[in-house]
Chains A and B, each alone.
Chain A
Amino acid sequence: MSTLRFLTWGYWLLTLALFAATVTMVFTYTPVEETMGVVQKIFYLHLPVAINTFAAAAMVFIASIGYLWERKAWWDDLAAAAGKITALLCAVVLLTGMIWGRSAWGHWWTWSPRLTFSLVLFLLYVVYLMIRPSIESPQRRAMVCAVYGIIAFLDVPLVYLSVKMMPDFHPSSIALAPPMKLTLLAWFLPVTLLAAGLIVTRFTLNCRLRELGERREEEAHQPATEPLGGIA
């Protein structure tokens, strides 16, 4: 087994072990919240995933700037990988938020500023994934996606400002008991490791797929060297 493969396995095993430890922590060490009960525990997953969504979106932004600056294809591969994980994490934020909201407000969905904000963020990055296969030329695809990736990230504070105009009942700050705070902090570790691991894995795969595509194209353009045997 090569060192890289060994490290990869180690990384994923560590992430899995940390997830198992934090889940155990939530159900054994952390107290049950009085008003909401067990459903409140979803918050320990919700907040770290939300923060990681922003980090992944920031990575799309940085990789997009990198592509426009250097025009190297691997920047686009990185942006595509981070874009995919942003959409995935944002879907988790939306789902966990909806489950929390169902218990807190009695509805799966309310047009509160933060829910709207998450939905718009999700749509922005789902569209980012949808436009990629729609553009055939790799250079043009990378260019359009880089511009989109930059604008989408700059859109985020404006979406936040615009949704602030709506009436709000989402909690802006939550008072947590010390064990709850510790559990929340502990959850950041596996979630961040998972997000980073997924981005790196997807990035490596994107690079390989691109190299394979380039090699196939080169082969297709090479003139046939073998003589046509058997035809007299």
Chain B
Amino acid sequence: MKRSLQQIALLVAKDLRIEARGKQTVGLVIVLGVLIIVVLGMGLGTGGPGAPMSGFKSTAILWVAYLFGGVLCFEKTMAVERQDDALAGLLVAPLDRGALYIAKLLSNLTLMFVLALVVTPVAILLFRFDLSTHPWGFVIVMALGMTGFAAIGTLFAAAVSSTRLQGGLLALLVFPLSLPVVHASTQMMRKMFEEGEALSGGGLATLLAFDLMFLALSWFVFELVLEP
């Protein structure tokens, strides 16, 4: 167990070090996220000058930014391993493939959280979205949603990284499968920010069930999809 944790920590540190040196993914996803917020904000409008955008609309737009940014993160963190056949080196190393999956997942989640840390305040500023009514509800729902989304995204990024049409294909695979997460979290946001209800246990249980099921399944089949 301790050995696996050490392996995971080393792999995550490696991924984040590569990212810190190149700064390719973070810059790209943040700019994309801000652009999505601006474009959708313009399209949907705030209901006239001076009127804030509804909490439900704001969180839905944020989700779109997280989803597209997330897909880019999954692609980039896996593309790093395909360069110079680095993945072959990882596969012959005495590493548990499950540890490799968890490490990739944690790297992706870190990048997505950085994206959220920049993009969410931009949305709050531009839409005058009042997060103060349920700040922790927002954080918990988004964190659980992102974890489920990243669990699926990390698995399929490894599966399709060696195929052609990689970019479009990954989004095509990941978006429909993560619809329950997106749907459950947007419904919870609607209840919290439009109807003023507290965080619902049923919704949280759905998100948790999704996260646990896909984490377990992805961990189990990751070894199979890595085969050449």
Q: List residues of A whose CB falls within 8 A of some B CB.
A: 68, 116, 120, 123-124, 127, 130-131, 134-137, 140, 143-144, 147-148, 150-152, 154-155, 158-159, 161-166
Contacts and interface: CB of A to CB of B under 8 A. Distances in A.
Given A136-B163, A147-B159, A120 B173 contact: no
B206 interface: yes
Contacts of A144: 156, 159-160, 163, 173, 225
B214 A166 contact: no
B95 interface: no
Name the prevailing secondary structure of the B interface residues: helix
Interface in B167-225: 169, 172-173, 176-177, 179-181, 183-184, 187-188, 191, 200, 202-203, 206, 209-210, 213-214, 217, 221, 224-225
Contacts of A158: 180, 184, 206, 209-210, 213
B183 A163 contact: yes
A220 to B, nearest CB: 21
Given A131-B173, A136-B164, A158-B210, A166 B187 contact: yes
Given A144-B173, A151-B152, A158-B213, 8 more contacts: A120-B179, A120-B180, A143-B227, A150-B221, A154-B217, A158-B209, A159-B180, A165-B184
B155 interface: yes
Interface residues of B, number: 35
A165 B202 contact: yes
A140 B214 CA distance: 21
Contacts of B156: 144, 147-148
Contacts of A159: 179-180, 183
B163 A135 contact: yes
B1 interface: no
B147 to A, nearest CB: 14
B206 A161 contact: yes
A151 B175 CA distance: 12
Nearest to A123: B176
Given A136-B164, A162-B206, A124 B159 contact: no
